[in-house]
Amino acid sequence: MDTKLFNYDLDDPLSIFNRHIFCPIHKRYSAFLSCPSCPDFPCRKLSRTDLRMLSLSPFLNREVTEFKTRRQKMYILKKYDGTLEIVEELDEKNPDQELLKNVEEVYPVTKVLVPQLRLVPKTKEERHKIKESLEKEQTSPKEETAANPKSGKAASKKT
């Protein structure tokens, strides 16, 4: 079970804004959005859900620090119409003729570069602008439902 550090809504990025948690490693209260700046990040107290919420947060910048190499064998087939198709397995010595019917070129891929990200909190001004825009988005659907109450529709159906 992937338990969250505190109760927040996965669909609402505002639910983690200005939330403070007790860090059991450093024995102090700190902002949840400041976790990526900790030297122990990612720590064992953060669940996968917590890490996902931080990585998708609009209040943090994602910066690529380096690329890690991962070995993987696959093939990219370039067809005559310009489209590309990825194939996991292809026998180079005895290729499948049906698969290569409309193929112009085959590109073997033996390694994949995976970007390593670093999460950096945005400036205070940027965070407040994002917070205001998210609050406006949340209040605008509520205003539309207030303008068209369901009770009025239900009353018109009864007559």
- Which residues lie closer than 8 Å to 102 by C-beta, 6 or more apart? 79, 80, 81
- Indicate whether 36 pLDDT > 50: yes
- How many CA atoms are closer than 13 Å to the CA of 157, on its beta-carbon side? 5
In the structure, what pLDDT confidence band is assigned to residue 77 with cuts at 50, 70 and 90? Answer: very high
Q: Region of 157 please: left (phi>0), alpha (psi -120 to 50) or beta.
A: alpha
Given the structure tokens 């109760």, which residue do they identify?
7
Given the structure tokens 């891929």, which residue do they identify?
109
In the structure, what pLDDT confidence band is assigned to residue 141 with cuts at 50, 70 and 90? Answer: low
The structure's pTM equals 0.56
